[in-house]
Chain A
Amino acid sequence: GAVVSQHPSRVICKSGTSVKIECRSLDFQATTMFWYRQFPKKSLMLMATSNEGSKATYEQGVEKDKFLINHASLTLSTLTVTSAHPEDSSFYICSAGRGGDGYTFGSGTRLTVV
């Protein structure tokens, strides 16, 4: 159990366009999901907490207008990188959990902005 699916696994987009990344909990409901960003050989940095039915909570320094999060159902959260630039290129990972069992991570999305 506790499977989290993330799509796409890789995406290349042109500078100035927007990219949407999906995170789905396949076999459980998640009222809260988390979005992380990871640079090469670095740790995971929490970007925001996605709350079903309400606004996401962003970490300090993360632009909420740049990284739009929508948690429309108990099994789906989306992260949209708007007006992407090369410096937004990174590995984006989502996670979800059922509370006391730790958190399951998606397989990540490698975003490359050219």
Chain B
Amino acid sequence: GQQLNQSPQSMFIQEGEDVSMNCTSSSIFNTWLWYKQEPGEGPVLLIALYKAGELTSNGRLTAQFGITRKDSFLNISASIPSDVGIYFCAGQGNYGGATNKLIFGTGTLLAVQP
């Protein structure tokens, strides 16, 4: 199945550091979403972006929808231990006639050392 290119694959940082991850695609999306997944759980929505160029914040999280509609980034400021998890980007667009399918990125594993 199709996946988005997400980088970095993993990050190991100290508490208090800022984190940045991004997703790129060869296809245009109408919506970009960022999710966090903890072990044994389903993904939880963090931020949704609906317009090219849009910059949205949710607490210490900030995400942007790229102007070309083919990329997005997520920043986490002042990381804390509970930020640990796998972060996924997801793009929503028109695939095979369906306008609401989500295609996921490959994921970024974040580890935060206290």
Interface window among B12-20, B40-48, B59-67, B68-76? B40-48
Q: Which of B33, B42, B109 contacts A107 (CB 8 A)?
A: B42
CB-CB under 8 A for A110 and B40, given A43-B88, A102-B45: yes
CA distance A50 to B88 in the complex (A): 22
CB-CB under 8 A for A6 and B42, given A45-B1, A46-B101, A60-B1: yes
Q: Which residues of the other chain, B, contact A104 by a CB distance below 8 angstroms? A: 45
When the two chains form their complex, are residues B40 and A103 in contact, meaning their CB atoms are under 8 A apart? no
CB-CB under 8 A for A34 and B101, given A43-B3, A105-B44: yes
CA distance A106 to B31 in the complex (A): 21
Chain A residue total in the interface (Cβ 8 A): 30
Q: Which of B44, B98, B105 contacts A43 (CB 8 A)?
A: B105
When the two chains form their complex, are residues B42 and A105 in contact, meaning their CB atoms are under 8 A apart? yes
Chain A 7-42, CB-CB to B under 8 Å as 1, else 0, gives 000000000000000000000000010101000011
Q: Which residues of the other chain, A, contact B1 by a CB distance below 8 angstroms? A: 45-46, 59-61
CA distance A43 to B48 in the complex (A): 19
Q: Which of A42, A49, A107, A108 contacts B101 (CB 8 A)?
A: A49
**Shortest distance between the CB of A88 and any CB in chain B (Å):** 16
When the two chains form their complex, are residues B42 and A49 in contact, meaning their CB atoms are under 8 A apart? no
Asked if A101 is an interface residue, CB under 8 A from chain B, the answer is: yes
Q: Which residues of the other chain, B, contact A72 by a CB distance below 8 angstroms? A: none
CB-CB under 8 A for A108 and B102, given A43-B107, A100-B50: no
Q: Which residues of the other chain, B, contact A44 by a CB distance below 8 angstroms? A: 43, 88, 104
Chain B 102-114, CB-CB to A under 8 Å as 1, else 0, gives 1111110100000
11 A-B pairs with C-beta separation under 8 A? A4-B42, A34-B102, A43-B104, A43-B106, A44-B104, A45-B1, A45-B104, A46-B101, A61-B1, A93-B42, A103-B45
**Shortest distance between the CB of A25 and any CB in chain B (Å):** 13
Asked if B100 is an interface residue, CB under 8 A from chain A, the answer is: yes
Asked if A77 is an interface residue, CB under 8 A from chain B, the answer is: no
Q: Which residues of the other chain, A, contact B31 by a CB distance below 8 angstroms? A: 102
CA distance A6 to B42 in the complex (A): 10
